[in-house]
Amino acid sequence: MCLFCKIVNKEIPANIIAEDEKFLAFHDINPKAPVHILTIPKVHFESFNEVAPETMAGVTTFIQKVAQETKIDESGYRIITNIGEDGGQEVKHLHFHILGGAKLTSCFVDNS
Q: Which residues are catalytic?
A: 95
Q: What's the DSSP call for residue 62?
A: H
Angle at 56 between CA 36 and CA 39, to 5 degrees: 20
Q: What's the DSSP call for residue 57?
A: H
How many other CB atoms are found less than 10 A from the CB of residue 38?
Answer: 20
